[in-house]
Amino acid sequence: MNTPSQASPAPERGGRPQPLLVVRDLKKHFPVRDSGFGGPRKFVHAVDGVNFSVPKGKTLGIVGESGCGKSTTARLVARLMPADAGSLIFDGEGVAEFRGLHLKEFRRKLQMVFQDSFASLNPRLTIAETVAYGPRVHGTPAAKAMQQARELLDRVGLDAANFANRYPHELSGGQRQRVNIARALAYDPQLVILDEAVAALDKSVQAQVLNLLQELKAERGLTYLFISHDLHVVHYLSDYVMVMYLGQVIETGPVERIYGHTAHPYTRALLSAVPSMDPARRTEASPLAGDPPNPINPPSGCRFRDRCPRAHAVCADRAPELAAIHGAPEHFAACHLNDTASGHPDAGQEFSA
Amino acid sequence: MSATLPLPSPVAVSAAQPSRSYWAVVWRQLRRDPMALAAGGVLLLIIAAAVFAPWLAPADPYKASMIKRLLPIGSSGFLLGTDELGRDLLTRLMYGGRLSLLMGVVPVLAAFGIGTAIGLFAGYVGGKVNMVIMRVLDVFYAFPSVLLAVAISGALGPGLSNSLIALTLVFVPQVVRVAESVTIQVRQLDYIEAARMSGASAFSIIRVHVLGNVLGPVFVYATGLLSVSMILASGLSFLGLGVKPPEPEWGLMLNTLRSAIYSNPWVAALPGLLIFVTSIAFNLLADSVRSAMDIRR
């Protein structure tokens, strides 16, 4: 018997216009060991009310400083850890309540590529065994799974005849990351989460892997959730960009809007921190001073206010909502400067990056 | 002199060569280690002498003689002399190796199996279950192993099987500790997360991804326990808690020959020397295995 769900690629629900993944009000607070007895329990607000959606066949890039909750968001979406609150809708189906078989089926459609290419491969398995492991878990006979694994290795640019029986330590970082990509593709997922997938590779290898990712996306109609701190790479790969700061989304929109007409002072500071290719445009001044505030006790109101060059009294009083930017569809930012009714003295002035 | 160094040719690592399995590499590494070869050779000799004692031994291990007591090493007919009851010492040392080696290996093997299973479970499940298991085992761990072995086998009563149980109980907490800590390390690696992403069951993940990577370090630790086990077993017999006379066993022989230490010190020292040599050989081999297995990190 061949059940329809076994056919690949997985059937698409709701057609193209429906987003593949919708995340609503996702929250994850990690408890911190309290300093003494009886004190109030403290929490790290790792992900604090995150909303976003990823359209089918597009790439959403998530950027932000270390510790802003990018990777936690990815793990929550992948259900590698339980969320404290919030809902996930994957291809029109609620995910949060998935257990057992449903979760197994969901994971067939969603795969992840990790940053550390070595730690993400079992040193005791040959790379073909690693790639074939997932399909075997889902009931593919061993011989067929191995055959598919070899084909996939060929597809990601590793000659199966030479590489299939090798162990991870015999491969270079770029080759290992290709194995990780092959494993992620082993059962035709719809969504692939790339968690800093190219960050540990050197530039030339990074470019090759990025091109491979682009090809695979076009070839298989994949949707990517691409997490990175490298703004160049995000610019190259993404259709949409989401900027996170201290567990919250502060700006999201199409890549050209974010890189061309940002509507948030933090995004602007991030972008101006990118070294320019043109020596005449290089600046010595640090665009942003200090570290992000402690996520255990985030500042009141806008979380960015104590590092923001344009902070005002209103920023401490009220947290800005993620609101649509006037005249730009799909572009949202959480800043009082964009809202003339917010009470910020500079509000409504033209923002240009 | 233009001596040709045995440099590894670049062809040897080229793409066309099939990869060796992990254990094949470890084995090759071991064969190249002179210390491992020497220790392994000595052990093989001792084991062979013990196993084939009924065919190789020159005399009957139980046949006593009042006239031929405590003959020195090199007496005619008695190559290594005789013990306090006039029994041939070479014969008794060969037979004694059977029990002594048994008591060195069996508890370690049993503890390796039981300890790895408990450690894997505790380490993979984590949380409160892990804490309860580990704290209970810490109670055992808090006692010095000699004291614990004596206490347990004293409570169970003397005899071979009881000392085997006592020694196993002494080693289980130690093996669990190693297995648990390695499991915790392995569990947080990305390939475990990747396996979870594939929708595999916890059992399948433990079997395929955790076990293989935990077994190595635990195995190395267990080989180091072999010599400890032998010495503890000899100690138990020496105290009268292990094997009963007239059964030949190195620790027991050391005890009964104690009274002859002034009249015939060399003969009296022989069982102790064998315990010493065997445990050193086990230790050296364990060290070599450890470095041979270190190639992946």
**Per the structure, how many domains does chain B have?**
1
Instruction: Give the tens place of pLDDT for each residue, B198-213.
Output: 878 888 888 888 988 8
pLDDT of residue B49: 85
Distance from CA of A175 to the nearest CA of B (A): 13
Q: Residue A324: its pLDDT value, please?
A: 84
Alpha-carbon distance B14 to nearest alpha carbon in chain A (angstroms): 9
Q: Residue window 262-301, chain A: list those with CB within 8 Å of chain B.
A: none
* CA-based nearest distance A124→chain B, Å: 7
Please, what sign has the CA dihedral across residues B102, B103, B107, B112? Answer: negative
Q: Do B208 and A122 touch (CB under 8 A)?
A: yes
The answer to whether the CB atoms of A137 and B200 lie below 8 A apart is yes
Q: How confident is the model at residue B173 (pLDDT cuts 50, 70, 90)?
A: very high
Using alpha carbons, list the distances in angstroms from residue B19 to A126, A127, A148, B15, B202.
Answer: 9, 11, 20, 9, 29
pLDDT computed for residue B115 by the predictor = 94
pLDDT over 70 percentage in chain A: 87
Start-end of H helices in chain B: 22-31, 34-51, 53-56, 89-125, 127-142, 145-156, 160-187, 190-197, 202-205, 211-238, 250-256, 265-292
* Residue A157 domain flag: no
Contact at CB, B195 and A133, closer than 8 angstroms: yes
pLDDT at B171: 93
CB contact under 8 A, B197 and A165: no
Compute the average pLDDT of residues B161-182: 92
- A47 domain-assigned: no
Q: Across the interface, which of A110, A114, A166 has its CB nearest the CB of B194? A: A114
Domain presence at residue B117:
yes
Domains identified in chain A, total number: 1
Give CA–CA dist A179/B279, Å, rounded: 45
Out of B15, B190, B213, name the one closest to residue A120 (CB): B190
The answer to whether the complex's ipTM is over 0.90 is no
A262 in a structural domain: yes
CB atoms within 10 A of CB B201: 12
Identify the pLDDT of residue B175.
94
Report the run of H or E that residue A332 belongs to, with start and end: strand A332-333
Domain that holds residue B212: 50-62+74-296
Residue B191's CATH number: 1.10.3720.10
Min Cα separation A16/chain B (Å): 26
Choose the weakest-confidence range: B36-45, B58-67, B204-213, B280-289: B58-67
Weakest-pLDDT range from B54-58, B100-104, B155-159: B54-58
Q: Is residue B5 part of a domain?
A: no
Task: Judge whether A325 lies within some domain.
Answer: yes
pLDDT value at residue B10: 39
Q: Give the distance from residue A114's alpha carbon to the nearest chain B alpha carbon, in angstroms.
A: 7
Cβ pairs A/B, distance under 8 A: 75
Task: List the end-to-end C-alpha distance of chain B, in Å, as a whole number.
Answer: 37
Could A110 and B197 be called an inter-chain contact, meaning their C-beta atoms sit closer than 8 Å? yes
Question: Which H helix or E strand runs over A226?
Answer: strand A223-227
Cα(A1)–Cα(A219) distance, integer angstroms? 29
**B252 assigned to some structural domain:** yes
Is residue A349 assigned to a domain? Answer: yes
pLDDT in tens, A181-201: 999 888 788 899 998 888 888
Binning pLDDT at 50, 70 and 90, where does residue A26 land?
confident
- Judging by DSSP bridges, how do beta strands A223-227 and A59-63 pair with one another? parallel
- Taking alpha carbons only, the member of B217, B208, B4, B197 closest to residue B115 is B217
Q: Decide if B38 is inside a domain.
A: no
Query: What pLDDT shows up at residue B296?
Result: 55
**Chain A contact set for B190 (CB, 8 A):** 114-116, 119-120
How far A184 CA lies from chain B's nearest CA (Å)? Answer: 9
Strand partners of residue A43: A31
φ, ψ of residue A148 in degrees (nearest 5): -60, -40
Distance CA A77, CA A88 (A): 7
Q: Answer yes or no: is A244 within a domain.
A: no
| Predicted pLDDT of residue A225 | 92
Instruction: Report the C-alpha dihedral over residues B70, B73, B74, B77, rounded to 10 degrees.
Output: 40
B39 falls within a domain:
no
**Does residue A275 carry a pLDDT above 80?**
no
Residues of B in contact with A162 (CB under 8 A): 15-16
**Chain A residues in contact with B204 (beta carbon < 8 A):** 137
Asked if A124's CB is within 8 angstroms of B190's CB, the reply is: no
Q: Does A99 touch chain B (CB under 8 A)?
A: no
- The whole-number pLDDT of residue A1 equals 39
Choice between B252 and A147, residue whose per-residue pLDDT is larger: A147
- What's the mean per-residue pLDDT of chain B? 82
Lowest mean pLDDT: which of A204-213, A279-288, B131-140? A279-288
Chain B environment of A133 (Cβ under 8 Å) = 195, 198, 200, 208
Domain that holds residue A294: 256-277+287-353
Residue A32 lies in a domain: no
Residue range A326-343: mean pLDDT, rounded: 81
Closest in A104, A112, A126 to B194, CB measured: A112
User: Within a domain: residue A10?
Assistant: no
Task: Name, in order, each residue with C-beta under 8 angstroms of A8's C-beta and a sequence gap of 6 or more.
Answer: A187, A188
pLDDT at A58 over 80: yes
Residue A325 has pLDDT above 80, yes or no: yes
Q: Is A137 on the interface with B (CB under 8 A)?
A: yes
Residue B95 lies in a domain: yes
